[in-house]
């Protein structure tokens, strides 16, 4: 079981894929979706959230698509996951004493540790690993 949601994993994969493929121009949502075996409309809300947060840049038009908006070394997996799925505990009007005194503080500490680790993994690092994998596994980023 992964504690990182499917949406969080997909967001990281999308940003790394775009960073690797956008060397000759923006990456279309259609091409990205094909490489990840998803319908293009499935990715659009996620990609738009990443644009609004300043991680990706969206370019309109017939040759439009997405590119990374800033230096890959300065985008962390934590940034991406926070954008994709949010963080923090859902607010509830009334918490039980056990939840308020014990559970919420313990989970908040675990979440801080989790995001601190994600913040140490950059898109540049994952792009380098992707390039190494592409040499070892031809077709790794081709549509299935």
How big is the chain by its Cα radius of gyration, in Å?
17
Each residue's pLDDT tens digit, 56-68:
999 998 888 999 9
Domain, as residue range, for 99: 6-136
pLDDT in tens, 75-129: 999 999 999 875 444 555 567 888 889 988 998 899 899 999 999 999 999 999 9
Indicate the number of domains in the chain.
Answer: 1
- Compute how many other C-beta atoms are within 10 angstroms of the C-beta atom of residue 77: 24
Q: Is residue 141 part of a domain?
A: no
Q: Whole-angstrom Cα distance, residue 79 to residue 128? A: 19
Q: E strands of the chain, at which residues?
A: 56-59, 65-68
Backbone dihedral region for residue 87 (phi beyond 0: left; psi -120 to 50: alpha; all else: beta)? beta
Q: Place 140 in a pLDDT band, splitting at 50, 70 and 90.
A: confident
41: domain CATH number is 1.10.10.10
Q: 1 forms bridges with which residues in the sheet?
A: none
Q: How far apart are CA 99 and CA 125, in angstroms?
A: 38
Look up residue 74 and give its two tokens.
């300065």
143 located within any domain: no
Specify the pTM. Answer: 0.84
Can you tell me whether residue 130 is helix, strand or coil? helix
- 38 and 6 Cβ atoms separated by less than 8 Å: no
Give the model's pLDDT for residue 47: 94
């Amino acid at each position: 079981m992964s504690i990182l949601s499917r949406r969080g994993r997909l967001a990281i994969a999308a940003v790394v894929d775009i960073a690797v493929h956008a060397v000759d121009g923006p990456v279309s949502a259609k091409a990205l979706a094909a490489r990840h075996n998803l319908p293009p409309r499935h990715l659009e809300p996620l990609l738009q959230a990443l644009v609004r947060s300043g991680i990706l840049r969206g370019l309109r038009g017939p040759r439009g698509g997405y590119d990374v908006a800033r230096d890959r070394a300065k985008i962390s997996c934590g940034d991406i996951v926070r954008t994709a799925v949010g963080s923090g505990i859902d607010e509830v009007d009334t918490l039980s004493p056990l939840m308020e005194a014990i559970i919420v503080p313990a989970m908040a500490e675990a979440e801080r540790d989790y995001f601190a680790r994600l913040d140490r993994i950059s898109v540049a690092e994952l792009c380098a690993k992707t390039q190494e994998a592409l040499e070892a596994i031809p077709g790794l980023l081709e549509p299935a």
